[in-house]
Structure 1
Amino acid sequence: MKLLTEQKHELNGLTLHTIPTTKYKTNTFILKLNAPLNEKTVTMRALLPYVLQSATESFPTTTQLRTYLDELYGATLQVDLTKKGDNHDITIRIDIANEKYLKDSTPLLQKALTLLGEILLKPATEEGAFLNDAMEKEKRSLRQRIQAVFDDKMRYANLRLVEEMCKEEPYSLHVNGRIDDIESITAATLYEYYQHVLKEDAIHLYVIGDFHEQEVKTTVEQAFDLPQRQPKEIKRSITKKEITDVNEVVEKQEVKQGKLNIGYRTNVVYGDRQYFALQVFNGIFGGFSHSKLFINVREKASLAYYAASRVESHKGLLMVMSGIDAKNYDQAVTIIKEQMEEMKNGSFTDSEIAQTKAVIHNQLLETVDTPRGLVEVMYHNELTGKSISVDEYLKQIDAVSKQEIVKVAENIQMDTVYFLTGKGGENNGEN
C-alpha cells in the first residue's frame, strides 16, 4: 500500500500531526487528550467531553452549535472515550467537506479548526463554572451510558472480568466511570478538573486530508492558545504478574444465558518484539471465524452461542468471551483450556497461519481506509514511543514464524475465570 507521510509539529504545548492525502473528499480533525486512569477523576473525565461539545462562548446552546455545524456544509462533531492500557483518552473529532471540491469559497478548514479550538478552550460558562443546564443533561446521559453496560450482559461480563482480574490496577476502572460518583459532580468541580486537563494532559491534534501545511499550522497556532502547561508523560501500562492460583468468580443474576469470560496475562504489549506473534496467535486461537475457539467450542461441541478472544494491546491481556448454558460450564472451560494447550504445543497448521495473516492484513487495511481508523493506528506509536508504520506492521506480521507463535503461547498464563449465570435451575436460550 502507498505509505502516508506524517509530519509532527510542536505548537503551543500540543503536538500537531499532519497527514496530507487526496484520498478523501473531507478533511478530518481529531483531538486526543491523554491522562492516566485515576479513581478520583475517572467519572469527571467521562463527563467532560460531552459537556465541552454541548456549548461554547460563541454558541452558548447546543442548538446554536449544531446549527453552525450544519451551515458548514453538514460538518459533524463527535466525542468519545477510550481506555488504552492504564490511560484514559478523550477524543474530539470534526469531519468537514474539503472546500477544494465546492464552488463556494468558504474557508471551511479554517472555520472548523477554529471551532475545535473553541470547543476545547472556550466552553460556555456562567460564574466561573460550566452551564448548569448542560451539566445536568449530560449527567443524565452518562448515567444512562453506564446503566446500559449493566443491562447488556455481554458487556457487563467483560466489565466484571476486568474488575476481578485487575483489582489493584487502574485498568479495573470503567471508561465511563462510576454511577455512584455522578451525583456529587457539580458544574464548578468539573470546571476545576477541566483546568487541570488543559495544563496536564498530553494533547495531540491530527489533521488528515488535502490541505496546505502552512495554513494548518498558522490556524492551529491562532486557534489553540493553550495555558502554560506541564503535560504528564504517557506511561506504558504492562503489569508483570506471576500467576500462582487462577481466580474463579461465579456471579448469579436473572439471566437466561451464561457468560463465561476468561482473562489471561500475555506479558506482551504493543511495541514489544513479540507483539506481532501475539496478534497471529490470537487470530488462530480465537480472534477470527476460522479460529480454534470458534470451531471447537461453538461449532464442533455446540457448547457456546459465541466464542472469541481479543488482545488488549496496551495492557498485555488476552480476553476470552463466550455465551453458554450453565450446565456446560465445566466442559466449556475444559475445551477452552485444551485449545490453549494446543497453541502451546504448536498444534496448528501452516495453512491456519497463512489464513490468519491474510485476515490481519485485510482488517488493518480496512481500518486505515478511514481517517478515524488511520489515526487510531498511528496513535499507538504515541502511546508507546515507537514508530511503526502501517507497511512495517504488515511486514512484521508476514515475518512471524510458527516458533514465535508457540513461544508467545508458552508465556501466556490464565489469570481469572468469570462466570455470570442464572439464579437456580438450568439456563437455556439466549439473553
Structure 2
Amino acid sequence: MKLTKETLLEKEGYRLHILPSKKYKTITIVAKFKAPLKREGITERALLPHVLQKATHNHPNVRSLQSAFENLYGTALSSDGSKKGENHVISFRMEVVNEAYLNDQEPILEEAFQLFNEVLYHPKTQGEGFDASIVNREKQTLEQKITSIKDDKMSYANLRLMDHMCKEEPYSLHVHGYQEDLSTITPESLYSYYQEMISKDMLDVYVIGDMDENAIEKLTDQYFSRKGSDNVDDDQASVSKDVTEVNEVIEREEVSQGKLHLGYRTYTKFGDDDYYALQIFNGLFGGFPSSKLFMNVREKHSLAYYAASRFESHKGLLLVFSGVDPKDFKQAKSIILDQMEAMKTGDFTEDQVEETKEQVINQLQETMDNANGLIEVLYHQMLSGAEMPANELIENIRKVSKQDVVQMAEKIELDTIYFLTSNEGGE
C-alpha cells in the first residue's frame, strides 16, 4: 500500500499539508492548533471551539451559520480537543463535496474555505468580547459535559487514574477543562484568550482529496494566512518519570461495578525504534479480543465485564481498563498482573505474534483509508519527527519478532493501580 504523496509548505503563519488523492469524492480540510498543556487556559481551550462554531460576523446566529453550511451541499464543521503528550491540540474539520462531481460547477470549495475562515478568524463579537448569550449557553453545555464524565464511571476512573499517575505532569490536565473555572470566564476574557490562541498556537492545515494543488495553495494563502504570526513550534517535551514504587489508590462511590484501571510507563513513544514492538505487545496483551487480558480475565475466569489495554503514543503510557465485581478486586488484580508477567517471560507463540501483526496492519490500513484517519497518522508522525510512507510503516510492523515483544515487555513498569469501588466493596 502506498500512501498519497504529501506536499509540506511553510506559509505565512501556518504549515500547509497538501495530500492529493483520487480515492475520495470529497475534499477534507483540517486545521490543527497546538499549544503546550497548561492549567491556566485549559478550560478556555475546551470552550472556544463550541463558541466559534455558533456564530460569525456575517452569520450572527446559529440558524444563519447552519444555513450557510447547508447551502454548501450539507457541508459540516466539527471540532475537538485532545492531548498529544504534554501538548493540547484543537482540531477543526470540514468535509466538502468535490465540485468536479457537481453538474452546475459552482465554486463550492472557495465558499467552504471562506466559511472556514469566518468561523476561525471572524467570530461574532460584542464590544470587547464574544456574544454573551452564546458564551453563557456554551458554558452551561460544557458544565453538563464535565459533570456527565462523573456519571460515566469508566471515563471517570480513567480520569482519576491520570490524576494520580501523572500528578504534577501537564498530561494530568483535563481536556474538557474544570467546572470551577467556568464562573470566572467572561465573554471578554474568553475573547482575549482566543486572540492569543489564534495568533500564537502552532497551526497546521491539511487538505486531502482530488484537487488542483496550485489552486489549493492559493485558497489556503487567502483564507488561512496569519500575518504577524511566526508559527514557531512551542513544543512541550514529554515528561517521563522513573517509577520508584507502585501507587495503589482505592476510591469509593455508589457504583454497581468496580473499575480496576492500571497505568504503566512504557518509556517508548511514537517515532522510537521499538514503537512497532509496543504496537504488537499491546495487541497480544489487551488490544484485541484474542488478547491475554480478554481471554484470561474476562473469558477464562469470568472476573471482568470488560478487560482491555491501550497505549498513549506521545506520552509513553500503557493503560489497562477492566470492570469487575467489587468483591473480586484482589483476584482480578492478581490475574492482570500475571498477564504482564507472562508477556515478560515470552508466554505466547510465534503464531500469535504473526496473527497480531496482521490485526495491527489491518487496523492501520482501515484508519488510513479514511481521510481524517490518514491526517491523524501524518500529524502523529510530524509531531514525533518520524515521517515515513505507509509501506515503510507496515514493513516495520512486519519486522517485529517475538524477542522484540519480550524486550518491550521487560521495559514496561507498573506505576499506578486505581480501583473505583462501591462503599461496601472490596479491597
Fold equivalence (TM over 0.5): yes
Aligned counterparts of 2:237 and 2:256: Cα–Cα separation in 1: 36
Name which of structure 1's ranges 253-262 and 73-82 shifts more when overlaid on structure 2.
73-82
Listed as ranges, the matches of 1:261-340 within 5 Å are 261-340=261-340
Q: CA deviation at 1:230?
A: 4.1
**Structure 1 residue 258 and structure 2 residue 258: aligned?**
yes
RMSD of equivalent CA atoms: 1.3
Residue 82 to residue 114, structure 1, CA distance change in 2 (3 Å): same
Q: Is the 8 A contact 2:35 2:235 kept in 1?
A: no
Describe the SS at the equivalent of 1:368. Answer: helix
Residue 425 to residue 162, structure 1, CA distance change in 2 (3 Å): closer
Q: Show structure 2 runs of 5+ residues with no match.
A: none
Aligned-residue identity in percent? 48
Aligned counterparts of 2:121 and 2:225: Cα–Cα separation in 1: 8
Q: Is the 8 A contact 1:238 1:267 kept in 2?
A: no
Where does residue 383 of structure 1 map in the other structure?
383
Describe the SS at the equivalent of 2:112. Answer: helix
Q: Is the 8 A contact 2:11 2:225 kept in 1?
A: no
Aligned counterparts of 1:360 and 1:423: Cα–Cα separation in 2: 40
Where does residue 135 of structure 1 map in the other structure?
135
Name which of structure 1's ranges 370-379 and 111-120 shifts more when overlaid on structure 2.
111-120
**Structure 1 residue 189 and structure 2 residue 189: aligned?**
yes
Give the TM-score taking structure 2 as reference length: 0.98
Q: Show structure 1 runs of 5+ residues with no match.
A: none
Aligned counterparts of 2:280 and 2:236: Cα–Cα separation in 1: 22
Aligned counterparts of 1:307 and 1:301: Cα–Cα separation in 2: 12
Q: Is the 8 A contact 2:30 2:92 kept in 1?
A: yes
Q: CA deviation at 1:232?
A: 4.5
Aligned counterparts of 2:313 and 2:241: Cα–Cα separation in 1: 16
Q: Is the 8 A contact 1:114 1:220 kept in 2?
A: no
Where does residue 228 of structure 1 map in the other structure?
228
Write the deviation string for residues 344-374 of structure 1: whole angstroms up to 9, x where unpaired: 1111101110111111111111111111111
Where does residue 47 of structure 1 map in the other structure?
47
Listed as ranges, the matches of 1:32-181 within 5 Å are 32-181=32-181
Aligned counterparts of 1:253 and 1:66: Cα–Cα separation in 2: 42
Q: CA deviation at 1:382?
A: 2.0
Write the deviation string for residues 322-363 of structure 1: whole angstroms up to 9, x where unpaired: 000111111111111111111111111011101111111111
Aligned counterparts of 2:142 and 2:10: Cα–Cα separation in 1: 34
* 1:372 alignment partner AA: N
Describe the SS at the equivalent of 2:369. Answer: coil
Q: Is the 8 A contact 2:238 2:315 kept in 1?
A: yes
Give the TM-score taking structure 1 as reference length: 0.97
Write the deviation string for residues 260-313 of structure 1: whole angstroms up to 9, x where unpaired: 000000000000011010110000001110000000100001110000000000
Describe the SS at the equivalent of 1:184. Answer: coil
Q: Is the 8 A contact 2:36 2:236 kept in 1?
A: no
Aligned counterparts of 1:28 and 1:412: Cα–Cα separation in 2: 38
* 1:409 alignment partner AA: A
Q: CA deviation at 1:219?
A: 1.2
Aligned counterparts of 1:189 and 1:26: Cα–Cα separation in 2: 37
Where does residue 211 of structure 1 map in the other structure?
211
Aligned counterparts of 1:139 and 1:241: Cα–Cα separation in 2: 35
Q: Is the 8 A contact 2:310 2:320 kept in 1?
A: yes
Name which of structure 1's ranges 34-43 and 215-224 shifts more when overlaid on structure 2.
215-224
Q: Is the 8 A contact 1:306 1:322 kept in 2?
A: yes
Q: Is the 8 A contact 1:75 1:94 kept in 2?
A: yes
Aligned counterparts of 1:272 and 1:153: Cα–Cα separation in 2: 33
Q: CA deviation at 1:238?
A: 3.4
Q: Is the 8 A contact 1:237 1:314 kept in 2?
A: no
Q: Is the 8 A contact 1:307 1:323 kept in 2?
A: yes
Q: CA deviation at 1:87?
A: 1.0
Aligned counterparts of 1:392 and 1:135: Cα–Cα separation in 2: 46
User: How many residues are treated as equivalent by the alignment?
Assistant: 427
Describe the SS at the equivalent of 2:387. Answer: coil
Aligned counterparts of 2:22 and 2:251: Cα–Cα separation in 1: 52
Describe the SS at the equivalent of 2:299. Answer: helix
Residue 371 to residue 126, structure 1, CA distance change in 2 (3 Å): same
Q: CA deviation at 1:141?
A: 1.2
Q: CA deviation at 1:224?
A: 2.1
Q: Is the 8 A contact 1:13 1:226 kept in 2?
A: yes
Q: Is the 8 A contact 1:35 1:201 kept in 2?
A: yes
Q: CA deviation at 1:17?
A: 0.6
Name which of structure 1's ranges 259-268 and 137-146 shifts more when overlaid on structure 2.
137-146
Q: CA deviation at 1:315?
A: 0.2
Name which of structure 1's ranges 111-120 and 311-320 shifts more when overlaid on structure 2.
111-120
* 2:15 alignment partner AA: T
Q: Is the 8 A contact 2:12 2:230 kept in 1?
A: no
Describe the SS at the equivalent of 2:290. Answer: coil
* 2:186 alignment partner AA: T
Q: CA deviation at 1:239?
A: 2.6
* 1:10 alignment partner AA: E
* 2:329 alignment partner AA: Y
Describe the SS at the equivalent of 1:2. Answer: coil
